[in-house]
Structure 1
Amino acid sequence: MVLKAVLFDFNGVIIKDEAIHRSLIDELLLGENLTPQGRQFWQVSVGRSDRACLKELLKLRGRFVTDEYLDKLIAKKAIAYRQKLEQLEALPIYPDVVQFIEQMYNSQYKLAIVTGAIGSEVELVVKQAKIGMFFDTIVSGDEISQSKPDPEGYLLAIERLNKIYPDLHLLPSECLAIEDTFAGIEAVKAAGIQAVAIAHTYPFHMLQRRANWTVDTFADLELDRLNDFFGGAKSGDEQLA
């Protein structure tokens, strides 16, 4: 077993924008004459796609909407998201993430983003952050039918990488995925991929038992130790602390 690809979640891993998403979801709910509920947001939204989030939040309030209506809400949120980012002096990119991405790229790993965010939001950020050239593919929330914790997005990323590189013969066991939420970690492990949890959204101790590795920051994610794990084909889980 060798490490061939590193797969990144987006919100909460590359960009610190959960608070922005929460405020925009709240605004959408208010526009539907519904009162936002903070606890429900964390229960049904974090780590999931906008579509899954809005559908569940509306359902909990007795609203059952069509896919076409959800499309309109999501498009409205996407416009507001762009406007929010344009108002910021600098993108809230996590410290050390760009350096880590560059390190993985220079080490010849194939890189992908797998996210529930819609493609236009991801493209906006990677363009402004000047990191788009490092990724071979981006699987966004508007390209999949099932949100995390379903593994569909991760399996699609592997499929795409194998199409881009026919000689790669990439297997899930040869991938590493970096996530920050419970739903994301579940999706990674359901796909048969090794999971790194980064304590951006939840405390270290809440993630530690769910992932193969847990770190506080990208600076703590040591490439040599990862290579030792994959090269040595150890069994069981190990924690990077």
Structure 2
Amino acid sequence: MVLKAVLFDFNGVIIKDEAIHRVLNDELLLSENLPPQGKEFWKVCVGRSDRAGLKELFKLRGRFVTEEYLDKLIAKKAIAYRQKLEQLETLPIYPDVSQFIEQMFNSGYKLAVVTGAIRSEVEFILKQGKLGLFFDDLVAGDDIERSKPDPEGYLLAIDRLNKLYPDLNLLPSECLAIEDTFVGLESVKAAGIQAVAIANTYPFHMLQRRANWTVDRFEDLEFDRLTKFFETSECQTSGE
């Protein structure tokens, strides 16, 4: 078994924008005359798609919204998100992620983003951050019906990479996914993929037992050791 592809979550792995999403969710709720989030943000929004998170926030307040109305809310939030980013001097991309992505690209791995964020947001940030050219594919919230922790997004990314590269014959066990949330790691595990947890959103000790490898920063990831794991042993699901 060899490592062939590295799959990246987006929010909390490539860009530090959870605080922005929390503010925008509160603004949406208040505009609908509903109370803002408390700890619910961490319970139902972090790691999930905008659609899944907003739907649950409204449900918890006794408001059941149609898919069409959710579309309008998501579009409204997307505009506000773009405006927030444009007000910043620099995008809040994690400082060590760009070098790591380039290193993976130069090492010949296929790269993809798998996220619940909407495509327009992700493409804008990847372009502004000069990262878009490194990725072979992007599976966004627009492309999936079921949010993480469902494995749909990761399995779709593998299917797409195989269609892009017919000789790749990529299996889930030949992939590595990088996540920062509990639901993201559940999604990776359900897809049969090995997981690296990066402690950007939750503390190291809270992630350690949920992933195969856990690091505080990308530079802490012993990639030579990790690739040897793929080459010399059967893939495991227990943490290291």
TM-score, length-scaled by structure 2:
0.98
- Distance in 1 separating the partners of 2:191 and 2:234: 19
Which residue is 1:139 aligned to?
139
1:17 and 2:17 correspond:
yes
Deviation string, structure 1 residues 129-178 (Cα, Å, up to 9, x no partner): 00000000000001100000000000000000000000000000000000
Unaligned runs of 5+ in 2: none
1:90 and 2:95 correspond:
no
Give the C-alpha shift of residue 5 in structure 1.
0.1
Which residue is 1:124 aligned to?
124
Deviation string, structure 1 residues 47-85 (Cα, Å, up to 9, x no partner): 000000000000000000100000000000000000000
Deviation string, structure 1 residues 8-28 (Cα, Å, up to 9, x no partner): 000000000000000000100
Residue 108 of structure 1 aligns with an amino acid whose one-letter code is G
Shifted more, 228-237 versus 12-21: the winner is 228-237
Give the C-alpha shift of residue 229 in structure 1.
0.7
Which residue is 1:215 aligned to?
215
Which residue is 1:167 aligned to?
167
Secondary structure in 2 aligned to 1:157? Answer: helix
Change (3 A) 1:139 1:24: same
Which residue is 2:109 aligned to?
109
- Distance in 1 separating the partners of 2:167 and 2:36: 49
Secondary structure in 2 aligned to 1:178? Answer: strand
Change (3 A) 1:50 1:161: same
Secondary structure in 1 aligned to 2:178? Answer: strand
- Distance in 2 separating the partners of 1:215 and 1:3: 19
Give the C-alpha shift of residue 35 in structure 1.
1.1
Over the aligned positions, Cα root-mean-square deviation in angstroms equals 0.8
- Distance in 2 separating the partners of 1:233 and 1:194: 13
CA contact (8 A) 2:6 2:176 kept: yes
Give the C-alpha shift of residue 235 in structure 1.
5.5
Secondary structure in 2 aligned to 1:200? Answer: coil
Residue 69 of structure 1 aligns with an amino acid whose one-letter code is Y
Counterparts of 1:51-70 in structure 2, within 5 Å, are: 51-70=51-70
Secondary structure in 2 aligned to 1:231? Answer: helix
- Distance in 2 separating the partners of 1:37 and 1:46: 12
CA contact (8 A) 2:194 2:235 kept: no
1:49 and 2:46 correspond:
no
Residue 162 of structure 1 aligns with an amino acid whose one-letter code is N
- Distance in 1 separating the partners of 2:234 and 2:64: 48
Unaligned runs of 5+ in 1: none
- Distance in 2 separating the partners of 1:145 and 1:5: 23
Give the C-alpha shift of residue 223 in structure 1.
1.6
Change (3 A) 1:32 1:211: same
TM-score, length-scaled by structure 1:
0.98
Which residue is 1:29 aligned to?
29
Secondary structure in 2 aligned to 1:112? Answer: strand
- Distance in 1 separating the partners of 2:5 and 2:35: 42
- Distance in 2 separating the partners of 1:134 and 1:222: 21
Give the C-alpha shift of residue 37 in structure 1.
2.3
- Distance in 2 separating the partners of 1:144 and 1:212: 26
Secondary structure in 2 aligned to 1:48? Answer: coil
Change (3 A) 1:238 1:182: closer
- Distance in 1 separating the partners of 2:20 and 2:239: 33
May I ask how many residue pairs the two structures share in their alignment?
A: 239
